[in-house]
Amino acid sequence: MNTFAGPIRTDLAHVDTWIFDLDNTLYPSTSRLFDQIDVRIGEFIAERFDVDSQEARRIQKSYFREHGTTLNGLMTEHDMAPEEFLDYVHDIDFSPLEPSAGLEAALAALPGRKLIFTNADVPYSRKVLACLGVAHHFEHIYDIAAANYVPKPFPAAYDTLIERHEIEPAASIFFEDIARNLVPAAALGMTTVWVRGDDNWVLPGNEDAKPDYETNDLVAWLHAALGAS
């Protein structure tokens, strides 16, 4: 069932920049793609620190909660270079992703420019977008490297995005599956949409999010928004 936090406003017709998170946002969480990454992160930590899987899981999730991403925790706590980590954890099977005619049609119909804002990196993001068949719609991929490895939800990542791509927050809309990552966007004046998936991301800060809209079906929401504009 598609759910909305209030009716879709016709003033979305004035949005000129559409900003999308990547994982579990552009594709449904039911693909379980990020589950593969989650496992790879645990394996990386277990090998790097010579700990068992239970301790690796504890480290992984504590860093994710406290530092925004596990990678940021590893960089902050252990001065780890990011490239080896990113290459390892993104070495996954992309076959669960398939092109979506509905997503293609919705993105094609959106007025204005479209950007990806992700805590992943560009090589991985390009593979996801290629599998979904929608890479041609996006002007830029603003990834973790472009953000100087400062991840969502830290405000500096959003500030750099806005400055680099000359975004007017009041004329932009941000789609994200992790509620706490919407909080800085809303504070800047962006319209926010929470794309709800499963309940795996119960995180500190989620309770502070007050998205303008929420849905468990991005494609249906986009088509409804286009119909209301």
Could you read off the pLDDT of 74-97 as tens digits, one per residue?
999 999 999 999 999 999 999 999
pLDDT at 2: 42
pLDDT at 55: 97
Could you read off the pLDDT of 122-148 as tens digits, one per residue?
999 999 999 999 999 999 999 999 999
Could you read off the pLDDT of 40-66 as tens digits, one per residue?
999 999 999 999 999 999 999 899 888
Verify that 22 and 60 share a domain, yes or no.
no
Verify that 52 and 15 share a domain, yes or no.
no
Q: What percent of the chain has pLDDT over 90?
A: 79
**Domain limits at 192?**
10-30+99-228
**Number of separate domains in the chain:** 2
- SS3 per residue for the chain: CCCCCCCCCHHHHHCCEEEECCCCCCCCHHHCHHHHHHHHHHHHHHHHHCCCHHHHHHHHHHHHHHHCCHHHHHHHHHCCCHHHHHHHHCCCCCCCCCCCHHHHHHHHHCCCEEEEECCCCHHHHHHHHHHHCCHHHCCEEECCCCCCCCCCCCHHHHHHHHHHCCCCHHHEEEEECCHHHHHHHHHHCCEEEEECCCCCCCCCCHHHCCCCEEECCHHHHHHHHHHHC
Verify that 134 and 23 share a domain, yes or no.
yes
Confidence of residue 226 (pLDDT cuts 50, 70, 90): confident
Verify that 25 and 39 share a domain, yes or no.
no
Verify that 80 and 51 share a domain, yes or no.
yes
